[in-house]
């Protein structure tokens, strides 16, 4: 198989302040997770999707896939305590093991364009590891625990990293295996690929490819969705 996408959807949304994890919140009456899955359903190079979900949301997720006629989800695994664990569980599936290229995309980024996903696949094919990122617009400062400014950081050297991230299968498998051996953790897959010393290409991300993190993002998300659809 050319390409499969892991979608970690195993978070329980502590920052979201609701009983419903943010991937199941609705925008225009459709769950965020379904918006996300529909993007990958429509990309021919993505032949299968592996979802990681919390065990309490497993049955509900299966019902949603049926209701919205999502066809490419080949396997659903139970997520872990951290996002990294949820991705690691998905990496052990037969579906991922048979893919040349593995994408990892947050369930809570429902507005990524198909063009960006395709660019990630094409660049991953050549380079082995690729991530999308945007430049910071604000001034960035390091702060102390007491809320005081330590220093101003040169923002021209920084970027804000998004998903989907794309890797040759052997690279991402190796990164997660090596990280697990020494309990190294990171907030994205690229941190683990950096950890094994592989060079990662950066391509332009999209301002509209936001991560739904708090209730305000749902309102912003509705505006983005109404604009792009
Ligand atoms: O919490 P955060 O915003 O970093 O979550 C990013 C993605 O990782 C979300 O789609 C969330 O559901 C997923 N996640 C997961 N397993 C966890 C924590 C987060 O699959 N234990």
Domains of the chain (ranges; CATH) run 3-228 (3.90.550.10)
- What is the full DSSP assignment across 141-195? EEE-TTS-EEEEE-GGG--EE-S-EEEEHHHHHHHHHHHHHTT---SSHHHHHHH
Residue nearest to atom 11 of ligand 1 (CA): 11
% of the chain beyond a pLDDT of 70: 98
Question: CA 170, CA 48: separation in Å to the nearest integer?
Answer: 18
Q: Exposed, middle or buried by CB within 10 Å (0-12, 13-18, 19+), for 43?
A: middle
**Tokens representing 3?**
């390409």
Q: For residue range 192-215, what is the model confidence (pLDDT) as tens digits?
A: 999 999 999 999 999 999 999 999
Ligand 1 centre to CA of 59 (Å) is: 18
The pLDDT assigned to 229 comes to 77
Phi, psi at 70, each rounded to 5°:
-85, 125
Apex 196 CA angle, 200 and 80, nearest 5: 95
From the alpha carbon of 108, which atom of ligand 1 is closest?
10
Ligand 1 centre to CA of 88 (Å) is: 12
Residue nearest to atom 7 of ligand 1 (CA): 106
- Sign of the CA dihedral with 38 first, then 36, 167, and 60 last: negative
Q: For residue range 128-176, what is the model confidence (pLDDT) as tens digits?
A: 999 999 999 999 999 999 999 999 999 999 999 999 999 999 999 999 9
Ligand 1 centre to CA of 130 (Å) is: 20
Q: Is 50 left (phi over 0), alpha (psi -120 to 50) or beta?
A: beta
**Residues 75, 94 contacting (CB under 8 angstroms):** yes
- Flag whether the pTM goes above 0.85: yes
> Which of 35, 108, 210, when mutated, tests ligand 1's pocket best, judged by the most ligand atoms within 8 Å of its CB?
108
Protein residues with CB under 6 Å of any ligand 1 atom: 8-11, 23, 52, 79-83, 86, 106-108, 211, 213
Q: For residue range 113-129, what is the model confidence (pLDDT) as tens digits?
A: 999 999 999 999 999 99
Query: How many Cβ atoms sit within 10 Å of the Cβ of residue 204?
Result: 12
The SS3 assignment for 6 reads strand
Phi, psi at 159, each rounded to 5°:
-150, 155
Closest CA to 27 of 216, 199, 155, 160: 216
Exposure b/e, 23-42, CB count within 10 A at least 16 = b: bbbebeeebbbbbbbebbbe
């Amino acid at each position: 198989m050319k390409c499969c996408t892991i979608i970690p959807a195993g978070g329980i949304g502590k920052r979201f302040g609701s009983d419903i994890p943010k991937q199941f919140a609705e925008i225009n009456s459709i769950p965020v997770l379904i918006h996300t899955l529909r993007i990958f359903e429509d990309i021919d190079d993505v032949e299968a999707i592996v979802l990681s979900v919390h065990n309490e949301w497993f049955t509900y997720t299966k019902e949603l896939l049926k209701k919205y006629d999502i066809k490419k989800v080949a396997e659903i695994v139970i997520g872990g305590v951290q996002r990294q664990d949820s991705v690691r569980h998905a990496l052990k599936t037969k579906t991922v093991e048979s893919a040349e290229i593995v994408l990892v995309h947050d369930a809570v980024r429902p507005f990524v364009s198909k063009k960006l996903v395709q660019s990630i696949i094409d660049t991953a094919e050549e380079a082995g590891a690729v991530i999308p990122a945007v430049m910071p617009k604000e001034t960035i400062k390091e702060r102390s625990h007491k809320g005081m400014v330590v220093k101003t950081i040169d923002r021209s050297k920084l970027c804000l990293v998004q998903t989907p991230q794309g890797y040759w299968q052997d690279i991402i498998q190796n990164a997660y295996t090596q990280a697990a051996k020494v309990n190294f953790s990171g907030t994205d897959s690229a941190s683990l690929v950096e950890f094994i010393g592989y060079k990662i290409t950066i391509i332009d991300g999209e301002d509209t490819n936001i991560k739904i993190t708090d209730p305000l993002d749902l309102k912003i998300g509705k505006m983005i969705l109404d604009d792009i659809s």
